[in-house]
């Protein structure tokens, strides 16, 4: 199928890449259909709204940033993704890119959780207070290097 994307303009995607966010994403509750795309930069992904081509989020795998990351969210949030096999669950953190690129951050407190088999997704809120909305990526990587 063909879609309009923020990153690449009009592109063709596989229907398996379409993810239904039934409750939307916080602040964007009226947008429900997204496509999961690879970004040019390895390790990064786009979550592209299919309803509004101008809305797209850059994401990364939180385990790449923090190998000690643990997905701790309410059971009912996970249950709402209707998964049978835990291996179908993908976890992402949304990335924010401010003017000062040294301050690029990832939101580990509001993880994006996707069941790739059922193509269902949601944003959850971490129950673990260690995870914040702004983890500065360069700082986390520097700390990981010194650990």
Partner 1 sequence: MLILARRLNETIVIGDTIRVSVVDIKGDQIKLGIEAPSNVKVYRQEVYDAIQEENREAARSAATRPIGGALPSLKRGTKDDSET
Q: Which residues are at the interface with partner 1 (CB under 8 A)?
A: 6, 17, 25-28, 36, 38-45, 54-58, 60-61, 63-65, 67, 74-77, 89-92, 94-98, 101, 104, 107, 109-110, 116, 123, 125, 133-134, 137-138, 141, 144
Question: Which of 3/137 has CB closer to partner 1?
Answer: 137
Question: Which of 44/118 has CB closer to partner 1?
Answer: 44
Q: Least distance in Å: CB of 4 to partner 1?
A: 14
> 48, exposed or middle or buried, with CB in 10 Å at 0-12, 13-18, 19+?
buried
Q: Least distance in Å: CB of 42 to partner 1?
A: 7
Q: Least distance in Å: CB of 73 to partner 1?
A: 9
For the CA atoms of 47, 51, 52, 56, the dihedral, rounded to the nearest 10 degrees, stands at 0
Question: Which of 2/132 has CB closer to partner 1?
Answer: 132
Q: How far apart are CA 104 and CA 12, in angstroms?
A: 29
* Coil/strand/helix, residue 103: helix
If you search the block for the tokens 């596989």, which residue do you land on?
14
Question: For residue 91, what are the β-bridge partners?
Answer: 113
Q: Least distance in Å: CB of 27 to partner 1?
A: 4
- Tally of CA atoms within 13 A in the half-sphere of 19 that contains its CB: 27
Question: Which of 2/40 has CB closer to partner 1?
Answer: 40
Q: How far apart are CA 136 and CA 134, in angstroms?
A: 6
Question: Which of 2/75 has CB closer to partner 1?
Answer: 75
Q: Least distance in Å: CB of 2 to partner 1?
A: 19
């Amino acid at each position: 199928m063909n879609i309009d994307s923020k990153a690449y303009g009009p592109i063709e995607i596989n229907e398996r890449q379409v993810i239904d966010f039934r409750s939307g994403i916080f602040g964007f509750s009226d947008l429900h259909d997204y496509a999961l795309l690879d970004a040019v930069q390895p390790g990064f992904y786009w979550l592209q709204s299919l309803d509004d081509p101008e809305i797209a989020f850059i994401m990364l795998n939180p385990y790449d940033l923090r190998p000690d990351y643990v997905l701790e969210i309410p059971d009912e949030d996970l249950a709402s993704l209707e998964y049978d096999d835990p291996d179908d669950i993908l976890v992402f953190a949304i990335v924010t890119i401010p003017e000062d690129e040294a301050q690029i951050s990832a939101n580990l407190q509001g993880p994006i959780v996707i069941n790739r088999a059922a193509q269902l997704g949601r944003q959850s809120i971490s129950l673990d207070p260690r995870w914040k909305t702004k983890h500065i990526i360069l700082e986390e990587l520097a700390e990981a290097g010194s650990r």
